[in-house]
Amino acid sequence: MASTDQAAFDDSQSLADLDPNTVVIPPHGGTLVNRMASRSAKADLLEQAGHFHRLQLNAREFSDLEMIATGAMSPLEGFMGKADYSKVVDEMHLANGLPWTIPITLSTSKVELGGVREGQAVALTNESQEIVAVMQVEEIFTYDKEAEAQKVYRTTDQAHPGVAALYRQGELLIGGPVVVLELPQHTDFLEYRLRPAETRWAFAERNWHTVVAFQTRNPVHRAHEYIQKCAMEIVDGLLLHPLVGETKSDDIPAGTRMKCYEVLLEGYYPANRTMLSVLPAAMRYAGPREAIFHAIVRKNYGCSHFIVGRDHAGVGNYYGTYDAHYIFREFTPEELAITPLFFDHTFYCRRCGGMASAKTCPHGNEDHVVLSGTKVRQMLQAGEDLPVEFTRPEVARVLTEQNGK
């Protein structure tokens, strides 16, 4: 395998010229990782990779590879080896002691791996069999899928989408550093696909010293808007950071969601204090553990605060309403080094005459405008208007138009 010293990597993400006083928060582990091959090294690496055994990545693994390459998963430099994997599953930390809650792994089978042994290199390909990265295979090891499911997802139920994805994996995991030759060739949301170094530069240019991130895989409704604006009262800026990687088939498509975000920001948010960018991650639906993971990733993008709402990254009834809040108690503020902002269930209260939460409103449910995702889908399918207390009219129009197609 070609040299993996610093000269082999793309220097376009260097923060060397950025005034450290304007960097809102250090990356997780202190250094923003960059695993993109430099232009000078790329051709040589690609020629070498043509002689390596090939392993094809699925959509989630390709998303993980992209985030490793750009530093979104700092300090990871590749897919996890056994020590990191075991420590993360059992203790929610990397082997070096840093907090980490989601295994970032590359699975394979004995048949797919062929005769590859530890110490050799493999070429990683996309679904079109194009080589996108070279990986030094440091470890090949077996793992217990059921144990991982129980500890990471708190269930072994195959109806859980994250557990189902885990059970579809191969029986082996391979760990080792990667050098990435090609990122996914995205054709959507191009103006919003900012790498961690780029969001950090953008925050510095705006003179934002404190930035709150909001994770979402849904349209932003009035309840989300309320908690975002509450958070904006105590920071310099908001990064609306929707996840656009692989999600469940019944989640609202990313293209529809992005149109909702655009019309909402245009009409109801101050342009000089908000920024929209996308997160290429795949959803795990790991609830509490994914809340910590989402916070760490946003720390790498340069955010100092992170909003944790009700049932963060949840699915079905696998997690308690506020389990994603409680898990933060298992880490010290110093080791996470990003400030979580916890918000209760929010809604429009007719008697209060505005947005409120269970912490601030004394009135009963009969006065609250709350719609489930199922109810929203039913109303859209029936061509009914969503109440203005639930969502802005512009957002409702986007959802109605897209649902009618």
Active site residues: 217-218
Please choose, from the candidates 223, 217, 256, the residue with its C-alpha nearest in 3D space to the C-alpha of residue 240.
217
Q: Confirm if 256 and 402 have CB atoms less than 8 A apart.
A: yes
Question: What does DSSP assign to residue 330?
Answer: G
User: In degrees to the nearest 10, what's the CA dihedral of 228, 74, 121, 175?
Assistant: -80
Q: How far apart are CA 60 and CA 169, in angstroms?
A: 11
Cβ neighbours of 364 (radius 10 Å):
9
**353 class by beta-carbon count within 10 Å (0-12 exposed, 13-18 middle, 19+ buried):** exposed
Please name the helix (run of DSSP H) or strand (run of DSSP E) that holds residue 140, with its range, or none: strand 139-142
Question: What does DSSP assign to residue 151?
Answer: I
Q: How many residues in the chain?
A: 405
Please name the helix (run of DSSP H) or strand (run of DSSP E) that holds residue 288, with its range, or none: helix 288-300
| E-state strands within 3-56 | 53-56
Is the previous residue joined to 184 through a cis bond, with omega within 30 degrees of 0?
A: no
Q: How far apart are CA 35 and CA 259, in angstroms?
A: 32
Residue appearing with tokens 């809102």: 24
Please name the helix (run of DSSP H) or strand (run of DSSP E) that holds residue 47, with its range, or none: helix 39-49
Cβ neighbours of 82 (radius 10 Å):
16
Q: How far apart are CA 72 and CA 296, in angstroms?
A: 9
Question: What does DSSP assign to residue 192?
Answer: G
Tokens of 114: 């062929």
Q: How far apart are CA 265 and CA 238, in angstroms?
A: 11
